[in-house]
Chain A
Amino acid sequence: MSHNRDHGEGPNRRKVLECMTWAGTGVLWTIAGGVPHSLGLVGEAAAQEAKGLTFLQISDSHMGFDKPANPNVKGTLEEAIGRIKAIPAKPAFMIHTGDITHLSKEQEFDDAEKIISQAKLDVHYVPGEHDIIDPENKLYKERYGRGTKGSGYYSFDANGVHFMGLVNVANLKGGGMGSLGDEQLKWIEDDLKGRSASQPIVVFAHIPLWALYPTWGWGTEDSEQALGHLKRFGSVTVLNGHIHQVMQKVEGNVTFHTARSTAFPQPAPGAAPSAGPLKVPDDKLRTMLGTASVTFKQGEQRLAIIDTPLAG
């Protein structure tokens, strides 16, 4: 089920609390088996509010990865795109939260483009650390960096929602985690200046923008400063990848959410000696890969996020 508060009331305190409880127990982002589950959501949105917006998130496609955890990452990305194509109500666009490739190779970028473009949707990218391995990040910049600032950050508006694509994988410092850097933090502040606090904000970046599991570097060391600039907004949704599994946290007006990978799963925080690719039985793999669909409805404070695995 989705987070769907359609009782015709404003968000009251009790409901917000209920939602937080759901988030804590995992009901909020129920793992839907396949596309049909998201149909309900798209249908409802269309019936209820023309100004609603549904977009998709894919992440961590790791083109070029060929290890036992998934020797066929092209195949699983194709499956994910196939499912996206099959959604009857066409989503507005797609975001890709990084690690498009495994080793930033030309062929890997080409493979990703060939498959992802079949969805026939605009795709807004941010890089993962695997996409900027080549000298001077030439390949990512050439393909996706046009019109972006610094290491590739940018913003845009869609249906009244303000989207900010951030980069927290560049110029990382030894001993640290993900990092936005001073220049980008300043840009975030400027980009938000003068915006109405009632405008919904969606922030997307590769590494989680919350201290999800610092022991494995799953966090962004200066994310608090970015969130400080977002504090006054009534609806903030933060979408990340990097950890190859669904995690969600709701803190005040901010919903943090990470999407599955289309390539390989990673262990739950601390559940393995390291964050390396998780080898699972073949028949289980597709239950741990997938995409997310995010729906914004006019008047709703919180966006509905539905994670859909490739199978199961």
Chain B
Amino acid sequence: MKFVIARAFGAMVLLVASMAAANAANIEVKIDNFSYSPQTVTVKAGDTVTWTNGDDIPHTVTSKTGAFRSKALDTDDKFSFTFTTPGAFPYFCALHPHMTGSIVVEASGGT
């Protein structure tokens, strides 16, 4: 859709391209009280998710399938990952594995 507009307004191609990049959202997930919140997040391909640990205890963000893996995040440490492939990405804390969350990635743009 954006690209249709871009074609229609040739002069705006550059601007629209940069808007498309800015359009890739950054989604925040907080880690508090040994839980990820929100626990399940739906994003578009290209979006970046940033986790911030608000606990006094370190946690990790570890993909169940190995797609991503943070180091141990101490208090206020952050971890970001940009999701490019659609699908469900369940994850957990490798230190406290009862802590689980999921990122659901939908195809971006299109149709």
Contacts and interface: CB of A to CB of B under 8 A. Distances in A.
- Tell whether A and B belong to one assembly: yes
Interface of A: 65, 67-69, 102-104, 129-130, 133, 172-177, 214-217, 273-277
A239 B83 CA distance: 43
Given A174-B64, A276-B56, A67 B92 contact: no
B64 to A, nearest CB: 5
Given A102-B58, A133-B72, A276-B57, A174 B100 contact: yes
Nearest to B72: A133
Interface string B23-51: 00000000001110000000000000000
Contacts of B74: 103
Nearest to B63: A174
B88 interface: no
Given A102-B58, A103-B58, A174 B90 contact: yes
B97 A172 contact: yes
Contacts of B71: 133
Interface in B41-91: 55-58, 62, 64, 71-72, 74-75, 90-91
Contacts of A274: 33-35, 55
Nearest to A275: B34
Contacts of B92: 173-175
Given A103-B74, A172-B97, A276-B34, A69 B56 contact: yes
Contacts of B75: 67
Contacts, number: 59
A214 B57 contact: no
Contacts of A133: 58, 71-72, 95
Interface residues of B, number: 23
A256 to B, nearest CB: 20
Given A104-B72, A274-B35, 9 more contacts: A65-B56, A103-B58, A103-B74, A130-B95, A174-B92, A216-B98, A217-B99, A274-B55, A277-B56
A173 B71 CA distance: 16
B72 to A, nearest CB: 4
B7 interface: no
Given A103-B74, A174-B64, A274-B35, A217 B97 contact: yes
Name, among B35, B94, B97, the residue most crowded by chain A CB atoms within 10 Å (CB to CB): B97
B96 interface: yes
B95 A176 contact: no
A244 to B, nearest CB: 11
Given A175-B92, A274-B33, A214 B72 contact: no
Given A174-B90, A276-B56, A129 B95 contact: yes
Interface in B93-111: 94-100
A192 B90 CA distance: 38
Contacts of B95: 129-130, 133, 172
A177 B100 CA distance: 12
Contacts of B64: 174
9 contacts: A65-B56, A67-B56, A102-B58, A103-B72, A172-B95, A217-B96, A217-B97, A217-B99, A276-B56
A119 to B, nearest CB: 27
B56 A216 contact: no
Nearest to B90: A174
Nearest to B98: A217
Given A102-B58, A103-B74, A276-B55, A174 B97 contact: yes
